[in-house]
Amino acid sequence: MIALVNKIVLSSFMLVTIFVTLQTMDGVESFFFYQKAVVGIANKLPNLKLTFHCKDKYRDNGFHTLAPGENYRFGFAITPIFINRTQWFCLFSWDGESHNFDIYVQERDDCIFCQWLIQKSGPCKYYATHLDCYQWKTTGQHEHQERKMFLISNTSIQQEPPVVLQPLNSQGRN
């Protein structure tokens, strides 16, 4: 009888562990512990391509390029409201300029879908009735200054040139 109770307790513990693990995995839809947020980015730069790279503490959303007027969206799970620590930051670049901005800060952004319009003067958060516009952040400056050193991105949008390959002759030598 005790062995059966131990198996039931162990099985229950394993199911809870699997459930919690799935809730915290990137890309897995959560339905109980974590709510999902979506960030939209729209290029409002006149006649300029916008290149951006967004990441958070754990995930890197990669590099993206938008033509003028184009939009991009990405989603993620946010931490429970009483913790308030989800934060995504981006490096935006165009025509030789680069600017940083915290595109999603859970304490600041009270939205499930946050639409941002990227302009030369700074990003503007779009609401149905108005825009909230912000200044570009200086390099390394983030909303949560106590986590500043942890959140500084060491990634730039400049990439190394490709390696030039030399063809080999039929003997396998140059």
Residue 20 is predicted with a pLDDT of 57
User: What residues does 125 pair with on adjacent strands?
Assistant: 116, 132
Region of 52 on the Ramachandran plot (φ > 0 left; ψ -120 to 50 alpha; else beta):
beta
| pLDDT top residue among 65 and 11 | 65
125-143 pLDDT, tens digit per residue, is 999 899 999 999 865 555 5
- Residue 104: its pLDDT value, please? 95
**Using CA atoms, how far apart are residues 80 and 163, in angstroms rounded to an integer?**
46
What is the rounded CA–CA span in Å between residue 43 and residue 72?
9
Query: Could you tell me if residue 18 is inside a domain?
Result: no
Q: Is residue 165 part of a domain?
A: no
Q: Looking at 37-46, 77-86, 138-147, which range is the least confident one?
A: 138-147
Beta-ladder partners of 137: 100
The answer to whether 87 and 76 are in contact (CB under 8 A) is no
Judge whether 26 lies within some domain: no
Residue 156 resides in a domain: no
The domain total for the chain is 1
Q: Which residues contact 3 (CB under 8 A, 6 or more apart)?
A: none
What pLDDT score was predicted for residue 119?
96
The answer to whether residues 76 and 29 touch, using CB atoms and an 8 Å cutoff, is no
Mean pLDDT of 152-169: 50
Q: Please check whether residue 116 lies inside any domain of the structure.
A: yes
CATH code (residue 78): 2.60.40.10
The per-residue pLDDT for 157 is 44
Q: Give domain status of residue 59, yes or no.
A: yes
- The phi, psi pair for 135, rounded to 5°, reads -85, 155
- Among 24-28, 84-88, 105-109, 132-136, name the one with the lowest average pLDDT: 24-28
Domain membership of residue 27 (yes or no) is: no
pLDDT of residue 149: 38
Q: Name the pLDDT band for 169 (thresholds 50, 70, 90).
A: low
Flag whether 173 is in a domain: no
- Structural domain boundaries, residue 80: 34-151
